[in-house]
Structure 1
Amino acid sequence: LLTWNSYACALPNAKIIIFRKQAACNPVVNKICQTGMILTGFTEIGRIDVTKTSFEDTNGGAGLMKNANYTYVLVVIFTNSKGSDDYSPMSESVCVLIPSAAPLMTNVSVVKTDAKIGEMLVKWTRPLKLDTAFYPGPYQYVVQRADGQSGSNFTPISSGIPAQISPAKLDTVYADKNLNTVAGAYRYKVDFYYSQNNQFKLLDSPSPASSVFLLGQAAVKSVKLAWSANVPWSNDFQVHRVYRETPRGSGKFNQITEVSVAGPNTYTFTDQGIDYYTQDGKFDMVISPDSTYCYYVETVGTYGEGLPRIGLINASQIVCVKPQSDVNPCAPKLSLAALNCESLDASLNCQFTSFTNTLIWTPTLTGSCDQSIASYRIYYSKDGTTFGKIGEVSDLKYLHQKTDSFIGCYYITATSQLGKESAKSEIVCQDNCPSFNLPNLFSPNGDGKNDVFQAMRCPRFVTQVTCKIVDRNGQLVYQYSGDVNGFGWNGRDLNGNVMAASTYFYTCDVTFDVKNEALKSKQLKGWVELVN
């Protein structure tokens, strides 16, 4: 519970902001000429009316950590004469220790990185300032574990470990084995029990501590590292250590740098191959995109004033990362198999339902391009404007089967084993094979053979037919405009009269479904002989 003297200035609608930091109890000096929160590491935990003189910190109902130091300062926010927010100077600081007889968690360190047989080392102190007369022995510890850095699903993982209050016995260490230390972190606490009426009674539990979890991210010729931990001590304003496997694949690690951290957002390092820490040797290396690099980090922390001055060093799991390359593959050379329009007449019936375009390409494996090609991506556009990916293959050939027509445009790219994509190949386009031909003789005698004057064989990709037929005197005997399937003269005039055997003359304008503007329309003029 925080209390203070009432604020002396009468400022309407002003608020008091309460800031908190978990760290060692270093006093905060109020500099009169500076206003607002000017220090790092503090978090706003409350905002109350300026007339209030107290505030209870419950950490949002979650409770504060045991055996931890918390520093508090106050700042007043008010509206100035210009109508904008302004701040008072900070108050003097106050530091509070949350006491507990529970042990202190000191270590949750990854000993072995493995998806099945990983191992954690858990350490803690003996109870602090335990009144052995009021809480008699024998004593025991029970280690509990939860999944994740903020997990709360604690379950006991040890039977009762006999505890000695004097430091004569190594009873504050526990090895937690057969874990998946690759996929995530774990969180631990150690319950302390005393004896009452020949039964063990829980005295207290320390604030839990999680393992350090390291993340590695591939970057161009470098590896980005970031780590985190959820612990009751402070890892801030310390120097953390980064280790890299040297040589690669040896299982041996050497320290490559020290990282001065000021808060969780600063728990980062980018390895570009330089070994900044040379006390264990100088091991610079070129970060190559065709190699994998492995790391772990050690955090360094401490409890605050009033608690044992212990250097708390904890190791993360090992992570291995393959850097990115800044070199792309070269664009492949693409070609599109030409259609044999004449063969379509012989090989296809008139019910066209499948149209296949065959793409063939050769990789470009010269120059400074990345030659480690893993796959090729195929992009398609109906009209050559907006392209979309339709496939990805490792072969040098792709068959695009369509259901509407042959029309379409394509380009491809090459993708390296590191996921880098080349520039586009040249764009190649396919067009339809238009076809519309008329005979020069028909015999509408009802024998079912050649009874109608219509397109020969299979007209292809015809969208419209407009046709007129006249006799020798120029008299119109037939006219049509519409779909190709409706076109056909049965030898009768416009009134349904049977026409005599003779020569008739036609003019037909045909429109095709093609990309080539020069082939979109065709006019046919000629004659046809009507015979009985």
Structure 2
Amino acid sequence: MLRLLLAQLLMGLAISVSSAQTIKVASIHHSRLDAGSDDKGYTLNGATMIKTALPKLTNTANFGPGGKVPYSLSITHTFTASGSITATSLAPFDILFIGPTFGGSFPVTQAEQIAIKAWSAQPGKVVILAEQPANYPVTAYYGYTLREGNTDPTTVRPGDSVTKLFTGVFGEATSMTQGGTSQGYFSTDCFSTVIATNADDKPTIIFASATRDVLIADTDFFTIVGNTMSEGPVIDPTNDTDKFWGNLWAWAVNEVVKPGAVSNPVAASVTPACSGTNGTITFTSPVGNTSDGQAYQYSINGSTYQTNPTFTNVPTGTYTISSRTSSACPVTSGGTVTVKGPPDAPGLGALIQPGCGATTGTISLTGLPASGNYVLTRTPGGLIPSATSGTTYTDKEVGQGGYSYMVTNADGCSSPASALINIVASQAPQILRVQLQLPSCGKANGEVIVTARGEGSLTYSLDGINFSSQPVFKNLTPAKYLLTVRDANSCSSTQALELIQPPLPSIAAVNVVVTSCGGANGAISLTVTGGVKPLGYSLDSTTFQPNGSFTNLRSGTYRAIVKDSVGCTSGVTIPIAPSQSPTIDSVRTSQTACGEQTGELTMYARAASAMMYSLDSVYFQNQPFFARLKADRYAVYVKDALGCITKTMAQVEEDCSASVSMPSAFSPNQDGLNNNWTIHFRPARVTIMNLTIFNRWGEVVYNRKEFELSSGDPLWDGTINGQIAPAGVFAYHLDVQFDPQRLSRYSGTVQLIR
């Protein structure tokens, strides 16, 4: 039985079509095998599959207009002659089913294997390959080793999210069994996705991701030899093999109609992206070892391989990456990767500085990439959209300050920054630095501190009218300002400023969890907007925490405060309502008779809602009365409608003052041991109102009335009318008067032993 990997191979794809279409299927004819081969029937038109697998594909209720899959399968059993499988003969078909391909006269040739794999590599061309473990030329050409095993069943393994095979339109399949004398499995993993495994965790169904084909380790899943697939055209919804077979072909049809992207298992990354002569190429797939323990080998030139997936100190250039394993797996190419090199930093040509009264200058750059299609960036200033080609560029109307330039070429590689280029108006002051302290808490407490240099003494203004020799402005409100710095020559520089009032913290919402059962289990959760992060939260205005959730609170009134990093606060008063548990006022009990369960217990409690009562805290009842109790110490529980529980203890006592005990046998043989049938009780003396003893036939053999005894006195000495009674079992009735109000009656048997 196979444990199928549910998440493998997207069988669940819904096939949506606007009109019916016929899918052309090729199947290798059973006559391709030797006439005497036992496996001659292991093809779609062979004896072992013609009653099970084939009719389910030609049933239009399964595949055809109006069927579960709205495509008809036109199946041609062909390729009878050796060498008949070619690119030309395969071209008309969409799906190729291959059963066992071994046999003495007509095995699949190497040229045919090459043609099959090349045909399958085309989008929309699908191979379903199910060879037998004894020989597997096509499977081997795919790069896999097919072994004979002896293991059933197997379990489901989670697969990838792209190709799920076993949850399709014919229902979910979870388990299949291989038939025959041996069970096949794949022992080599060559860049595949394992779909199903056997009980030894060996792959039995795999998805060859490079060609999007399905390889199955044993044809006997679908033959009468396997005895797991039902006969006839109907896909049995209770038969996992039937459902898998239908889903497999539904997936193949969908792959023909909407070919999936071929997965290339070889991939590598280049770091740094633009390294020049010291690039690193690291293979990201495949890594580690194959499922049978073979190490992967890697190459960036197609000839030299190494086991380390990382290649260092790689110069600029384009490299073909490929991978292989140490034995049977073929080389798999991953395409090319490019180690890119950065361009040179832009050079400085002419520099024109602004004069007094002017605010901009001109910078001419040289040495830009001759190939064009570059991006030129100025810092500060950002992207220069007009600079995309040409080896020189003139940057006009550049404001005062220091600038560097960087160019990014068509490969996306960026140059180092150019040398710093300063635009300086020799007769205008320079604003070197402006420090802003934003106003907070709704107050006029903003501040601007200016650092500048220029000719002579500098004056400063925030409105262009009122100037001061001090570069500090205090008590500012939120507003936009135009900073002006003016030198002794009346040359000035300006800079726009804006003082923004950060939003004040505000408690936007309060969520309260009230206490229950009178405990400290209330909670408050605050939702706060605004404020300068980080925020602090408190319920006592002293201790602040970094979040607005408070737990384990008792009932009461709380003052919640939120404070931001500049000291602005907001508060709200929050009540938490009280709660209480049920109260047990008393528990009354009545005694149980000695050794019996006749005791009773009644609880007297009060609560704000309906109450329920229990003696074990599990099963509760509506009534406070409990009967048929034995002597014991009981934990009693009362629960109200809110689930609050109160517990106390109660004792049920036992009354053994009116009980007697008598042996079940005695031996009146005068040996000094158990010579009499005696009676024991707690009082000093009791009155025997009646003692009657019967033999086995119900005849009275002894009777005595109204006599007193002490505990331990004999009731009967084992004689009948003065004669020794025979050994046997005797019945008795006994009435005991403990006091005038209590008369107890006992019946039973006693054995007389000789």
> Is TM (by shorter chain) over 0.5?
no
Larger radius of gyration: 2
Q: Which has the higher helix share?
A: 2
Bin of the TM-score, shorter chain as denominator length: under 0.3
Q: Greater relative contact order (Cα 8 A, min sep 6): structure 1 or 2?
A: 1
| TM-score normalised to structure 2 length | 0.19
| TM-score normalised to structure 1 length | 0.25
